[in-house]
Amino acid sequence: MSQGSLQPDAGTVPRGRGTPHRVVLVVDEGSNPFEMACACEVFGARRAQDLGFEPYTLRIVAPGRRTTMRDGLFRITADDDLSALATADTVIVPNRPDVETASRPAVLRAIREAHDRGARMVGLCTGAYTLAEAGLLSGRPAAVHWQLADDFRARFPDVDLRPDVLFVDDGDVLTSAGSAAALDLGLHIVRNDHGAEVANQVSRRLVFAAFRDGGQRQFVERSVPRVTHTPLSATLDWAEEHLAEPLTVADLAAHAHVGVTTLHRRFRAEVGSTPLAWLTGRRVLLAERLLERDDLPLDLVAQRSGLGTTANLRALIRRHTGSTPSVVRARFRATAPAR
């Protein structure tokens, strides 16, 4: 389990790369267009030019022909109705900022039927309310926007709410915290389905980090400090280029021209984690990419990713992904696109 997410012990088995994974995005009256746009960017954009294959197809459906978005911003005409859920591999359920308005019975019924059939269910931000209303979160962990945590707990006391993480992956049901955390969860799904290399390519097109350390506690409202320093971006970029070297927190502090204590404080404020946790996370991601792309022995993967030893590589892959180096390699190498 990472600092910024709650993940299951084992990843899902990806579909073959010749068969795009079918994603259905359900919208309803009052849905938030931001999360809808996040889903469209991650799962709807054409990727064949970049990846050599199309990982997903996306359909937008609604209970009615015309659906009004949040605050009456605009109306959309959906591709199809709720019957499209019958063939979906993944269903993204409606979210709506007006959480006091109950979901339509027809929507909840379609969601339950899709879940019973084996579809993966995703709730972005207030989509957790929809999943809870459908009865799919009872006794299970979930994430929701930090501002809604108290209300959610009061209304759904049987749900194990995790208010400090950016998303929760509970296998067949996944939920994210507020707004931009939809991208975190979307990229996590891509990473589980197609590997770290594909997720990194998608994230680069989005100009968004493939993995953000730290949970949503860093975004809880507080007084805004006066900025008296430059961001850590230069040091982060430098560290990314030297992951194979024996970097320490002291090395990061020296590059940033600050003391170790100050570096810890700035990492918490700007990155949402400790320097060591961030450094370890980046090394694990590099190790995953090496496992997916090359046939290097595990000891060389450990060295080139900066994880040092094979034992350390195995332990950290297990801690961060719930898997093993051999499983990571086997899951994605067999279906990797031609290079």
Domain limits, the chain: 5-206, 228-271+274-339
What CATH superfamily is the domain 5-206? Answer: Class I glutamine amidotransferase (GATase) domain (3.40.50.880)
Which candidate, 89, 143, 93, places its Cα nearest to that of 120? Answer: 89
pLDDT at 118: 95
Core vs surface per residue 111-148: b (16+ CB within 10 A) or e: beebbeeebbbbbbbbbbbbbbbbebbeebbbbbbbeb
Residue 167 · residue 176 · CB < 8 Å: yes
pLDDT at 208: 63
Q: How far is CA 44 from the centre of its chain?
A: 16
CATH class of the structural domain 228-271+274-339: mainly alpha
pLDDT at 221 over 60: no
120-123 and 173-176: which strand pairing?
parallel
pLDDT at 245 over 50: yes
Compare 122 and 190 and report the one with higher pLDDT.
122
- pLDDT bin (cut points 50, 70, 90) of residue 233 is confident
pLDDT at 15: 46
